[in-house]
Structure formats: structure tokens, C-alpha cells
Amino acid sequence: MHDRPIPSLRLDGKRAIVTGGASGIGATTARLMADLGARVVVADIAPVDPEALAALGAVAAVTGDVADEAAVDRMVAEAEAHLGGLDLVFNSAGIGDDLVPVHEQEVARWQRVVDVNLRGTYLVCRAAGRSMLRQGKGAIVNVSSIVGLGAFPGRSGYGIAKAGVIHLTRTLACEWGTAGIRVNCIAPAYTRTPMVRALLERNVFDPTAIERRTPLGRFAEPEEMARAAAFLLSDWASYVTGTVLPVDGGWSAYGAAGPVDKSIPGSD
């Protein structure tokens, strides 16, 4: 028996906005947050119809481009109006890149990848943070990537943006900590979402090579990202801020040459 109350992993009554909530990791996290008791508004560039909204367990959807300052300020204000305030943010809106080396890249495409993934995260944090600062509490989880932890050839725009998301997270944690706002990020590895499925269909990645490079030996499921995000958003993480949590099956821990050694006894 415990002689003191254990904080809850639940998010009962918390008012939340989830960007990129129409698909993939964002949609799965919105659903989990709603299941944990949060009232969720999804924000996405893609419209979310009422049926999809109900499937997410969300109370409303707002539509716009996270790279557009005015659109972000409007979406956050609309979410606040639906919810009566804002306690939680999960920043999942993002786009992939074209796997082209720097000397062959078009600056406009590079810029768009940086703008959606980094500027978008910055703008949503900024708008939501202003609201959270007024009430003196809140928690934000941003989405970086293993591509933000180590360099991947051909992915300079995405990698720079995702590395920037880590630094943005740390900076905001330091700026807003005394105001009661925690800011963390997760760094997912390859996760079976529509974004990754589209890349696999175009043969952009070799799934076997990825699985062999991953200590846990498989891709992640979106639910595994959602659970890590929910932990960081919950009171269980009440003393966690400014961190980057790799949710990567051991990808970033692995430093040896070649694939993971399957000859270790018991590993077959």
C-alpha cells in the first residue's frame, strides 16, 4: 500500500491541441489522449470530416498550414475558444523530404521541409505558449526524429529541422520552466504511418536493412509513439522538461559496423 497519492497517467479534463492530428502519429496520439480523458482539438492542413473526428474522439478540428503564422495564431485561438483554454500540445504536423543530396537540392523544396517541420513547431509552441503562460501551467511535446539525432545523407532539410526541434524544445523548457510549462520532444524511428508507407511503396527505404539496423529488429507502430507522448504530457512526467526521448527501438544506441549481431546466444 502507498501512503501518498500516486499521480495519474490519465489526462482527465485536460484541454489539448494536436497538430498533424488527421493522420499517423498525430491521429493515434489524439485518439489515445482522448481515451485518457483529454478534450482534443486536431489541427491539420487536411480537413477532418465529422466521421473521422468522431473516430479520433476529438471535439473539433481546425484547418490550416502550421508554417503560416496567421493560420497558426487563428488555429490556436479557435482551439482555445472550443476548449476554454489550453493545457496540452502535441506537435506532430510534418512532411518528409526527397532524399536528394545537398548539391542537387532545390532550395524551395528544402525551405518548405524546414518551414513545416521547424517553423511550424516554433509557431505552434509560440501561440500555445502565450496561452499557457497566462494560466501558469501546461505541457508540450514536439516531434523530432532519429534524423535529428544523427545525419542521414540526402535528408538535410528534414534533419536540420528535426535537430532544430530538439534545440527549440530545450530553449522553451528553459524559458518557460518557472512559469510551470514543461516542453519535451520524442525522437521516433521508422514508424508504420501513411508517410512511411508511401516512402516504402516508392522503394525509398529498404525495410530489411532498417530492421537489421534496429536492435529491436522491427519498425515501430504509431501507438508506441502515442504512449511515449502521453507519458511526457501526463503528471507522471512532472519533473521532466527539456528532454529528447528517442522512441527508436535502440536505433540511436547502436554504434557498431554492419547490422545488429544476431549470433548473440538467444537472439534467434
Ligand X SMILES: NC(=O)c1ccc[n+]([C@@H]2O[C@H](COP(=O)([O-])OP(=O)(O)OC[C@H]3O[C@@H](n4cnc5c(N)ncnc54)[C@H](O)[C@@H]3O)[C@@H](O)[C@H]2O)c1
CA distance 12 to 138: 14
Instruction: Tell which residue, 91, 85, 95, 211, has the closest CA to residue 158.
Output: 95
Q: Closest distance between ligand X and the C-beta of residue 266, in Å?
A: 29
For residue 63, what are the contacts with CB-CB under 8 A and spacing of at least 6?
Answer: 43, 44, 45, 46, 47, 48, 75
Which residue has 543530396 as its cell numbers? 101
Report, in Å, the least distance between residue 239 CB and ligand X. Answer: 25
Bridge partners (DSSP) listed for residue 125: none
Residue placing its CB nearer to ligand X in the complex, 110 or 190: 190
Contacts with ligand X in 33-52 (CB under 6 A)? Answer: 44-46
By CB under 6 A, residue 142 contacts ligand X: no
| By CB under 6 A, residue 62 contacts ligand X | no
User: Which are the catalytic amino acids?
Assistant: 158
- In angstroms, rounded to a whole number, what is the distance separating the alpha carbons of residues 43 and 124? 10
Q: Which stretch binds ligand X (CB under 6 A): 51-59, 102-110, 172-180, 192-200?
A: 192-200
Judged by CB under 6 A, the residue of 35, 65, 69, 98 near ligand X is 65
Residue 94 binds to ligand X (criterion: CB under 6 A)? yes
Query: Residue from 9, 179, 195, 260 that binds ligand X (CB under 6 A)?
Result: 195
Which residue in 171, 155, 32, 14 sits closest to 92, CA to CA? 32
Q: How many Cα atoms occupy the beta-carbon half-sphere of 34 within 13 Å? A: 20
Residues that bind ligand X (CB under 6 A): 19-20, 22-26, 44-46, 65-67, 92-95, 116-117, 120, 143, 145, 188, 190-191, 193-196
